[in-house]
Amino acid sequence: MTAPPVLDLTADAVTLTRQLVDIESVSQNEQEIADAVEAALRALPHLTVDRRGHTVVARTGLGRPSRVVIAGHLDTVPINANLPGRLDETTGILHGLGTCDMKGGDAVILRLAATVPEPVHDVTFVLYEAEEIDSKFNGLRLLSESDPELLAADFAVLMEPSNAVVEAGCQGTLRVDVRTRGERAHSARAWRGVNAIHAATDVLQRLQAYDARKPVIDGLEYHEGLNAVGISGGVAGNVIPDECVVTVNYRFAPDRSEEEALAFVTEFFAPYDITLTDSAPGALPGLDRPAAKAFIEAVGGADGTVNPKFGWTDVARFSVLGVPAVNFGPGDPMLAHKQEEHVPVAQIESCERELRAWLRGEEA
Amino acid sequence: MTAPPVLDLTADAVTLTRQLVDIESVSQNEQEIADAVEAALRALPHLTVDRRGHTVVARTGLGRPSRVVIAGHLDTVPINANLPGRLDETTGILHGLGTCDMKGGDAVILRLAATVPEPVHDVTFVLYEAEEIDSKFNGLRLLSESDPELLAADFAVLMEPSNAVVEAGCQGTLRVDVRTRGERAHSARAWRGVNAIHAATDVLQRLQAYDARKPVIDGLEYHEGLNAVGISGGVAGNVIPDECVVTVNYRFAPDRSEEEALAFVTEFFAPYDITLTDSAPGALPGLDRPAAKAFIEAVGGADGTVNPKFGWTDVARFSVLGVPAVNFGPGDPMLAHKQEEHVPVAQIESCERELRAWLRGEEA
């Protein structure tokens, strides 16, 4: 085994982001980056470091009355001719795999760990593996099951890209297959059968007529969605098909549980046969909690902007543990997973500045 | 090379059907059966025999004022644990691959060739290859292109299964892909995209509202059909899809040309983008032609039944050559291509009896 690359936590966050980007860490290949992160954090005497798989946890133990988690994942989606990273000095934009999702956020975490030895809240830094693949591998999920006490906190910040604006809570998501049935026949004598694709007209009509619920929770307006994301049917070019399957994705606001969401979808499509294939809960913004309020005042304070999170993120895992959590990180979430992903250097810098001020108890 | 099996044309048609069934002849494996058929026909001194590929043509040359074609294909769909053939003596039903589609008909053809040396019409017997696969291999089509004079006739009988009842003409068939477009977006922010599957609602609604045309031609009521036989759409479980394709099969009565049929479908789905993927013309029943009238009087005479043919068959190839043609053969067309295909012995016998009477100029 070769020694891991040495991360320089005294460098600025942009330099550190580039260093992290250039350590390839596609999901399930996080050993090298996790070794480098672990070594860098173990060198900081004010932190206690634990490792589970390729997930690294570093904590202060100052006996503060409150504790916060700041977390980010170390893995990326697969390489797509977008490594190594490249800084465009003219535009101040850093290009490359993981710049946006989410090594800019990881660099901020490492900089905060190194430069705020005496925060006003105790802090648990979590850098975890396998967020981009099947949730059974997800490092944060595994940690919440094996060592929930390591995630105990009053508040959590997940540094997923959010354009350096606080995004609170997240919507849940579930998928169902809605099935229509018919009866096969030769298409030359169609009247002897029942066309299951034609029968799906009613399913699509209901989807078209769907009126999105937009509940306001803690002052944030969520926006649900009910969409066909797939459809398939057909036996052969000369056969009236006896089955058609419409795959529907329901994105639901966090005031609904998974059970309530499924009940809604079941009733919406009744009496069709529906099969649940996938489900994940939303997360309430929890902005009424004192720790969250304090964070918003410190960080959202600049222009007071707090947005609802429409997409599903790991904040829902904190929510399940009873820890209010927000997304707050550099980079445009719409660029995540794209070949051309990039991050404005200014967003990395502003996130670092605002979080440092918050941890030091200063005005941002 | 081993010698082909010897067909006994002095045996009854049922025994001969069983012999043919037991010579495996899945499409593109017709050499053995074609060799056997060719050898049996060459042994008949009143016939002139030609061979093209695995298609065998045998003609009388009596100088009669009219000529008729009697045709059948030698190939079958793939074996499905349904060989060898099996005669149920109790029910009088012959079971096995090709019994229905269409070696019962082929046996009748061979029996007529052997037992009616002086028909009142000159006769061209055609036993051809590759009807069950892509039409580019179809022996009748190849013959109509390479040697159209071998198919010249006043009337043709295609011995496809028709329950031993005359089925006249055939409906045409075409397939189009009807495409709806949208705009991709993450399904967590569906309102930023346009859902192409939802847009297909209108296409399906039109299909559901379709009122089948049932034109009466030469006294026969045809029955058109316009059906979705396939549908597909979807990019990923979290993406609003930007395309949906509905595959539609139009079965059109033979008073419409392929061009008219396509024009109808194009207008029916306007302004959607449609792509023609497959097309074959119908065949007019042509029951007003003298040769057809005489046939119907002789053969349809028993109970006077003549039905329209809804499915597409090779009669359309005769129609293109200007030869009126009908389907008339033993076996239920609904059993063709089924694992359990079978044929009532009585239908083989009645077809043989009626056709022999016709060729001899007798009352059936």
Distance CA B168, CA B285 (A): 5
**Local confidence band at A124 (pLDDT 50, 70, 90 cut-offs):** very high
More confident residue, A3 or A317: A317
* Cα dist from A354 to A109, A308, A332, A360, B137, whole Å: 12, 20, 18, 10, 74
Cβ <8 Å between A228 and B236? no
Distance CA B350, CA A246 (A): 50
Average pLDDT of the segment spanning B108-133: 96
| A339 torsion bin: left (phi>0), alpha (psi -120 to 50), beta (else) | alpha
| Chain B residues with beta carbon closer than 8 angstroms to that of A230 | 197, 233-234, 237, 241
Closest Cα partner for A173 from A128, A225, A221, A124? A225
Q: Is the pLDDT of residue B301 over 80?
A: no
Distance CA A235, CA A183 (A): 11
- For position A337, what pLDDT does the model report? 86
Distance CA B316, CA B322 (A): 10
Do the Cβ atoms of A196 and A181 come closer than 8 Å? yes
B191 CB within 8 Å of a chain A CB: yes
To the nearest whole angstrom, how far is the Cα of B113 from the nearest Cα of chain A?
33
Q: What is the rounded average pLDDT for all residues in chain A?
A: 94
Average pLDDT of the segment spanning B298-305: 69
Residues 6+ apart with CB under 8 A from A89: none
- For position B303, what pLDDT does the model report? 64
CA angle B39/B44/B49 to nearest 5° reads 60
- For position B364, what pLDDT does the model report? 52
Q: Which of A167-171, B244-248, B268-272 has the lowest mean pLDDT?
A: A167-171
* Cα dist from B169 to A202, A240, B278, whole Å: 37, 23, 20
Phi and psi at B361, nearest 5°, equal 75, 25
- For position A127, what pLDDT does the model report? 98
Q: Is the pLDDT of residue B204 over 70?
A: yes
Cβ <8 Å between A225 and B173? no
Structure confidence by residue, pLDDT tens digits, A44-66: 999 999 999 999 999 999 999 99
Interface of B with A in 69-108 (CB under 8 A): none
| Chain A residues with beta carbon closer than 8 angstroms to that of B334 | 186
Average pLDDT of the segment spanning A2-30: 94
Compare CB distances from A229 to B187, B229, B311 and report the shortest one's residue.
B187
- For position A18, what pLDDT does the model report? 97
Average pLDDT of the segment spanning B3-19: 94
Mutation site for B-interface testing, chosen from A189, A192, A275, A276 by largest number of B Cβ within 10 Å: A189
Average pLDDT of the segment spanning B22-43: 97
- For position A293, what pLDDT does the model report? 83
Q: How far apart are the first and last CA of chain B?
A: 44
To the nearest whole angstrom, how far is the Cα of A322 from the nearest Cα of chain B?
24
Q: Is the pLDDT of residue A303 over 80?
A: no
**Local confidence band at B244 (pLDDT 50, 70, 90 cut-offs):** very high
Distance CA A75, CA A132 (A): 7
* Cα dist from B222 to B151, B164, B210, B257, B311, whole Å: 27, 19, 16, 15, 10
The H or E element containing residue B346 is helix B345-360
- For position A55, what pLDDT does the model report? 98
Mutation site for B-interface testing, chosen from A229, A276, A307 by largest number of B Cβ within 10 Å: A229
Coil/strand/helix, residue A162: coil
Average pLDDT of the segment spanning A123-129: 98
To the nearest whole angstrom, how far is the Cα of A305 from the nearest Cα of chain B?
19
Which position has the token pair 């490092």? A139
- For position A342, what pLDDT does the model report? 97
- For position B139, what pLDDT does the model report? 97
To the nearest whole angstrom, how far is the Cα of A345 from the nearest Cα of chain B?
25
Closest Cα partner for B262 from B254, B270, B250, B253? B250
Structure confidence by residue, pLDDT tens digits, A310-326: 989 999 999 888 898 99
Structure confidence by residue, pLDDT tens digits, B253-266: 999 999 999 999 99
Q: Is the pLDDT of residue B23 over 90?
A: yes
Q: Is the pLDDT of residue A302 over 60?
A: no
**Local confidence band at A296 (pLDDT 50, 70, 90 cut-offs):** confident
Compare CB distances from B204 to A197, A230, A235 and report the shortest one's residue.
A197
Cα A330 to the center of its chain, rounded Å:
13
**Local confidence band at A362 (pLDDT 50, 70, 90 cut-offs):** confident
Give pairs for B349-354: CB < 8 Å, separation 24+: B349/B13, B349/B14, B350/B164, B351/B104, B351/B105, B351/B108, B351/B159, B351/B164, B352/B13, B352/B108, B352/B111, B352/B112, B354/B298, B354/B299, B354/B302
Q: Which of B12-21, B143-152, B180-189 has the lowest mean pLDDT?
A: B180-189
Compare CB distances from B187 to A189, A207, A227 and report the shortest one's residue.
A227
Structure confidence by residue, pLDDT tens digits, A75-120: 999 998 999 999 999 999 999 999 999 999 999 999 999 999 999 9
Cβ <8 Å between B229 and A235? yes
Structure confidence by residue, pLDDT tens digits, A253-265: 999 999 999 999 9
Nearest CA in chain B to A184: B229
Residues 6+ apart with CB under 8 A from B74: B25, B30, B33, B34, B37, B54, B103, B106, B127, B128, B129
Compare CB distances from B188 to A189, A201, A311 and report the shortest one's residue.
A311
Q: Which of A221-225, A270-274, A287-291 has the lowest mean pLDDT?
A: A287-291
